[in-house]
């Protein structure tokens, strides 16, 4: 089983739609969780951290279910500018180090159409 | 602040050649790492460092060397380039792994023929 698995996509949605991405992680020792956004041919950038109680940032809501080892990202009222690849990222101790390393999912591509 | 600076942006190598990808950050970050990104594979960790003088291997370290003589610099060396190393390489840094965000450089697009 891969460390971090995501819906492969692509998701093609109209402007204004609500879209949800899911992600599962395999290492129960993981402590930190994030969503990154990557635009075409650009570097990844942090979208938001994911907290145990769930958190919201404007139109974006992230949820964490530690029991099921599951993370989600909900985007409401999609904008054209939301078109990008969304990367689920988990801090895992798999490669050693006292604080682990960030392991990236393969990403889910979102295209928002007019 | 320049953030994380990677050079070169593009590089073409012949099989067997060696080269160094440069990475520098001016944010006094202790943690630095190198990832490669291939279509359908996502970002995979090559090597990482938690401070000057300390380096360790990630998921795909074979064929690559790193060193961390200063806090600012974390070069990645390809010892003998192979076509399988054709990829986009990203350097990244943060205060610590648990302290987001991870700041990425703009990437180096490497082609090995």
State pLDDT tens for residues A23-68: 999 988 888 999 999 999 999 999 999 998 899 999 999 999 999 9
- Separation between Cα atoms, residue A7 and residue A71, nearest integer Å: 11
pLDDT tens digits, one per residue of A63-101: 999 999 999 999 999 999 999 999 999 988 877 667 788
Name the DSSP letter for residue B85: G
- Separation between Cα atoms, residue B26 and residue B1, nearest integer Å: 7
Q: Which two tokens stand for residue B41?
A: 């594979």
Residue B1: pLDDT band (50, 70, 90) is low
Q: What is the pLDDT of residue A99?
A: 73
Residue A1: pLDDT band (50, 70, 90) is low
Nearest to A102 among B40, B57, B102 (CB): B102
B-chain CB neighbours of A95 within 8 Å are 45, 48, 56-59
Q: Cα distance from B82 to chain A (closest Cα, Å)? A: 23
pLDDT tens digits, one per residue of B92-112: 999 987 777 889 999 999 999
- The candidate with the shortest Cα–Cα distance to A1, out of A96, A92, A100, is A92
Q: Which residues pair with A74 in a beta bridge?
A: A20, A61
pLDDT tens digits, one per residue of A8-35: 889 999 999 999 999 999 988 888 999 9
Do β-strands A60-65 and A55-57 pair in parallel, antiparallel, or remain unpaired?
antiparallel
Residue A30 · residue A114 · CB < 8 Å: no
């Amino acid at each position: 089983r891969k460390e971090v698995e995501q819906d492969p996509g692509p998701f093609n949605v109209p402007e204004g739609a609500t879209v949800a991405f899911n992600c599962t992680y395999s290492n129960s020792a993981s402590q930190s969780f994030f969503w990154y956004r990557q635009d075409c041919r650009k570097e990844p950038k942090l979208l938001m951290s994911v907290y145990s109680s769930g958190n919201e940032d404007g139109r974006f809501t992230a949820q964490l279910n530690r029991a099921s080892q599951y993370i989600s990202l909900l985007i409401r009222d999609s904008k054209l500018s939301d078109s990008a690849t969304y990367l689920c990222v988990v801090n895992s101790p798999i490669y050693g180090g006292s604080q682990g390393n960030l392991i990236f999912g393969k990403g889910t591509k979102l295209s928002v159409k007019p | 602040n320049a953030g994380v600076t990677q050079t070169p942006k593009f590089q073409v190598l012949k099989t067997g050649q060696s080269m160094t990808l440069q990475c520098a950050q001016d944010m006094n970050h202790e943690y630095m790492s190198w990832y490669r990104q291939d279509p359908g594979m996502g970002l995979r960790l090559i090597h990482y460092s938690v401070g000057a003088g300390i380096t360790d291997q990630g998921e795909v370290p074979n064929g690559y060397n790193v060193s961390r003589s200063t806090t600012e610099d974390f070069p990645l060396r390809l010892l003998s380039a192979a076509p399988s190393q054709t990829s986009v390489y990203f350097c990244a840094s943060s205060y610590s792994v648990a302290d987001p965000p991870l700041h990425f450089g703009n990437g180096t697009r490497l082609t090995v023929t």
